[in-house]
Copies of this chain bind each other. A is one copy, B any other.
């Protein structure tokens, strides 16, 4: 960290195995997906990674932290979308999210988020995940505004929350049977949802006069 351009004054002793980190993370996520949270074992991960337990404990303080990190490491990819229209962007965004949550790794991310909140142990996890989604949505909305689409700054955050929330519940309802729903159905569901919510996002659906306060 902060080591200069040139090769950071190498510390003495045997250098850390370069690939250990990644091998452990890979083994960890595999174990997790295969055997679930209960079956997720430091011994098992170390064995599968071909690594000593101490090598694991040198990098992660305990089981839970490793579990969190290994899942997060796999769930980085929330790719940005840019179709040119706000509606299509939102549809793509929510479809991406639904697909993500229907994938084991994505669902694991949701699980961990919930667990993290519960254990109060890893508040940054929640924040991290939430931020990633917020940022993706923010980009879409910003671009829409720049294109001149009239995005209502008052409702904006709430609408996105509704969208993401509805997607999350849908994922929960579907379980993670990836087979239970195909891409076409995902797209259809998201389209309906966005079409319903979109008016609330635009200036003058003039919801203002309805607002009772």
Contacts and interface: CB of A to CB of B under 8 A. Distances in A.
Interface of A: 36-38, 64, 107-108, 110-111, 113-115, 117-120, 123, 126, 130, 155, 158-159, 161-170, 172-173, 175-176, 191-193, 195-200, 205, 207-213
Given A161-B166, A164-B165, A205-B208, 11 more contacts: A37-B118, A111-B115, A158-B192, A158-B196, A162-B197, A165-B168, A168-B169, A196-B200, A198-B210, A199-B207, A212-B213
Contact of A114 (B110, B207, B211): B110
Closest 4 CB pairs of A and B: A165-B165, A162-B162, A165-B166, A161-B166
Contacts of A207: 196, 199, 205, 210
A126 B175 contact: yes
Number of copies: 4
23 contacts: A37-B118, A110-B114, A111-B114, A111-B118, A114-B172, A117-B172, A117-B176, A120-B175, A123-B175, A126-B173, A130-B172, A130-B173, A158-B192, A158-B193, A162-B165, A162-B197, A165-B168, A166-B166, A196-B200, A196-B207, A208-B209, A211-B212, A212-B213
